[in-house]
Structure 1
Amino acid sequence: MSPEKSHFVASSARREGYTHVLLMTTGSVASIKAPLIVQELLTYNHVAVEVVATKPSLTFFSADDIRKQGVNVWTDDDEWDPNYKIGDPILHIELRRWADVVLVAPCSANTLSKIANGSCDNLATSLLRALAPTTPTYVYPAMNTLMYEHPLTAQHIRVVTDVIGYNVVGPVSKGLACGDVGVGAMVEWRDIVHSVVEKFSLTRSASVDPTAS
């Protein structure tokens, strides 16, 4: 755990008047879009972003591409300090206190299963299990078509929407990274950003060229 990240506390990290967006990436190739999502979110006024990345998701993007934008990328290695003492901040609790909205983009078949079954075996799923039900949470599935069509996927989505109360958006049909063509791709990354813009009535910074994206 790096010293600058070892004591994240929501009460001091939150910024008055800001929308606090927590982006969670999981083990789908669509995680490659994470730096673009972060970059686009930061073109809006009064938006702060934190990223929670599962280890498999970092196969598809470099955390440094996000960190150089001034945004933290949190992983399982950051969760518990070897010198932890009772009363010290707990990262998954502080991050869920910080977030105004959570985007699970992309949500792999594995993480979807974990959410539906209440698993909390990593930073991402522990955060979701501890999340207040009043926190808007959007899940963007991304997986191979046959994984999406597996009977358990429909059951998992039903639990995530009807029992837990998250908003599941997509997937969509297109050519997939594996070469198959069918339903399973994450929705367009700009649409993910737009969902936050629309919900919180965000306005773009005057210094940003609106045609640039």
Structure 2
Amino acid sequence: MKILVGVCGSVSAYRSIEFVRGLVKAGHQVKVILTNGAKEFVCPNLYSYLGAQEVYEANADFSGSIESKSVLHIELAKWADKLHIYPASANTIAKLAMGQANDLLSSVFLAGWDKFQTIIYPAMNTSMWTNPITQENIDLINRLDKHDHIYIYPPQSGTLACGDTGSGKIPDVEEVLTNYDAINLGITDNSPHVVITAGATVAPIDPVRFVTNPSSGKTGLEIAKQSLRLGNRTTVLLGENSCDGFKHLAKLPGVKIIKVRTTDEMYEAVKSLENRFDTYISTAAISDLKFKTAGDKLKKDTLSNSLEFEKAQDILSYVVSNQSPSQCIVGFAAETQMTKEVLESKYNRKPTKLLIGTHVNSGLCDKARQGFGNDSATYTILENGKVAFEGELSKLQLAKEIFERIK
């Protein structure tokens, strides 16, 4: 991907150095545009050392030769696939809202409105961010964006460089590098709808005890991001104790996160969708037991005699039995001993387009941790009931594999 990074005058301008480094490491072609204010905080040569193809200063538009008949801001507008303004100062946001073009960055933005997507990461003091003038400029940019080419990434709240506490803090580089390629402004209410269950559900025993598993939701997170990259409207039904990545994912356009705790809550959330989805991907580690919950904490000496339980609702079975011919369903099966016979038995009970067997272990029973919380796992994939893949994949690779097989 060809990415322009605009850097504005802000104390947080130094964070753009790591942002550019991350984009280059990911294999993107990167060019950097600095405003005059940015040069007060960062050195242009740093970006070149980190792999940026070109670094332009604010007045670079006027350095071209007459013979070449090349206009830099037009050439860059045609070159870029995306423009990330990280950080975006209050001054630059005001210029963009008013359509000014008095430096290279604002000129490229104005010339490229119909050619690339722009993601703006505001960074400023809380009083400047909450000032009605700044908010009106943000609203104006959003109102004028008739083609969904601009996204204002919500700033964080926290302690600012000046010592104040409040909103206006630029998102961390790690968060931005995790999410930047999942920002898809082409997603609309008419886009295909993908529902993903992720994380773990809990089975309460009494007001202080519950049974659960170590699922982090990382698989569901990678699948959700891949779904967004492909232009799908994405709903995540998210269980307890899931990884922090979902907090960041919730900021992106086209995604909705519904939090649940128990298997019953997950079941009700699925039912509330009323079958309004094109694809259902069941990555969540859903508890298959449900206890008769005590009203008060159970005493130790009576605990073993008080654990009454029953099978919890089989949510995947419900989805399979109610699916329409046009819907695609992907099931998951987590096993410590994964065999073809185990998977085929599950498939026969709950036939799905794909059934993905994951080799797992909590690491608490004298064996190494597998699957849960890791970035990769060993999988066996059944496609229409037949083994189509066996081996180790990163969870990102698995996400790509799933969508490639169901497209």
TM-score by length of 2: 0.43
- Return structure 1 stretches of 4+ with deviation > 4 angstroms: 199-202
Counterpart residue number, 1:8: none
Per-residue deviation, residues 124-174 of structure 1 (Å, max 9, x unmatched): 111111113241110000111101111111111111122134100121111
Q: Which amino acid aligns with 1:117?
A: M
| CA distance in structure 1 between the aligned counterparts of 2:66 and 2:45, rounded to whole angstroms | 30
User: What SS does structure 2 have at the residue aligned with 1:177?
Assistant: coil
| Residues 12 and 87, structure 2, Cα contact 8 Å, conserved in 1 | yes
Counterpart residue number, 1:122: 103
Structure 1 residue ranges without an equivalent (≥5): 1-18, 203-213
Q: Which amino acid aligns with 1:36?
A: E
Counterpart residue number, 2:38: 57
Larger radius of gyration: 2
1:34 aligns with 2:19: no
Q: Aligned Cα RMSD in Å?
A: 1.9
| Residues 34 and 61, structure 1, Cα contact 8 Å, conserved in 2 | no
Match of 2:83 among 80, 87, 102: 102
Residue-pair matches, total: 182
Larger helix share, 1 or 2: 1
Deviation at 1:199, TM superposition (A): 4.8
| Residues 10 and 87, structure 2, Cα contact 8 Å, conserved in 1 | yes
Structure 2 residue ranges without an equivalent (≥5): 185-225, 230-407
Counterpart residue number, 2:114: 133
Larger strand share, 1 or 2: 2
User: What SS does structure 2 have at the residue aligned with 1:42?
Assistant: helix
| CA distance in structure 1 between the aligned counterparts of 2:17 and 2:76, rounded to whole angstroms | 19
Deviation at 1:69, TM superposition (A): 2.1
Deviation at 1:35, TM superposition (A): 1.1
Match of 1:163 among 141, 144, 160: 144
TM-score by length of 1: 0.79
Identical amino acids, percent of aligned pairs: 28
User: What SS does structure 2 have at the residue aligned with 1:79?
Assistant: helix
Deviation at 1:101, TM superposition (A): 0.5
1:43 aligns with 2:25: yes
Per-residue deviation, residues 15-59 of structure 1 (Å, max 9, x unmatched): xxxx001000011111111110011111213x1000000011122
| CA distance in structure 1 between the aligned counterparts of 2:61 and 2:165, rounded to whole angstroms | 38
